[in-house]
């Protein structure tokens, strides 16, 4: 898929692509650091039907929402022939007792037999995070294990 990059003098840069619907979907990265999500009008790809200003945190959450499911699906496809093994994405919420703490403090593998294979943060993937990786609210942990192990992992991340 092609991403078109267009300089917007005095404003910033527009990056977008044509969706199957014919609409263009993208972002405008402003010179001042602002970010807008944009969707073109159906009948005019150069005119915006929707323009939503996003904070840096909102853009990061949106990137996680869009990126994590694809990573999880890829991992699921890779171990389809292994009955009982599943992949899930588990969030680190604002109220998680592990928000702001090192991953190793969860003792996740020891307590659940589930593995954290990646962390999605602000649209970036951190594969195979080590025990010193500090968790932050909004992170999505991509985990592999049994359904029971992943249920236990969610409970740990939520309640401690």
Name beta bridge partners: 67. Answer: none
pLDDT at residue 39 in the model: 94
3-class DSSP assignment, residue 31: coil
pLDDT at residue 68 in the model: 60
- Cβ neighbours for 2, distance < 8 A, ≥ 6 positions apart: 17, 18
pLDDT at residue 115 in the model: 92
pLDDT at residue 158 in the model: 92
**Which parts of the chain register pLDDT below 50?**
none
Handedness of CA 42, 45, 46, 49 (dihedral sign): positive
pLDDT at residue 67 in the model: 65
Structure tokens given for 1: 């898929």
């Amino acid at each position: 898929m092609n991403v078109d990059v267009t300089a917007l003098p005095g404003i910033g840069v527009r990056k977008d692509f044509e969706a199957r619907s014919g609409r263009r979907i993208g972002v405008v990265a402003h010179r001042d650091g602002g970010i807008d999500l944009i969707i073109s009008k159906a009948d005019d790809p150069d005119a915006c039907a929707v323009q939503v200003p996003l904070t840096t945190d909102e853009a990061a959450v949106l990137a996680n929402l869009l990126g994590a499911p694809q990573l999880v699906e890829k991992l699921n496809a890779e171990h389809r022939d292994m009955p009982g093994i599943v992949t899930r994405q588990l969030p680190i919420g604002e109220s998680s007792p592990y928000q702001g703490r090192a991953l190793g403090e969860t003792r996740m593998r020891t307590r659940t037999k589930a593995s954290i294979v990646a962390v999605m943060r602000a649209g970036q993937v951190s594969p195979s995070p080590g025990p010193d990786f500090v968790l932050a609210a909004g992170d999505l942990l991509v985990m592999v294990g049994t359904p029971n192990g992943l249920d236990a992992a969610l409970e740990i991340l939520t309640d401690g």
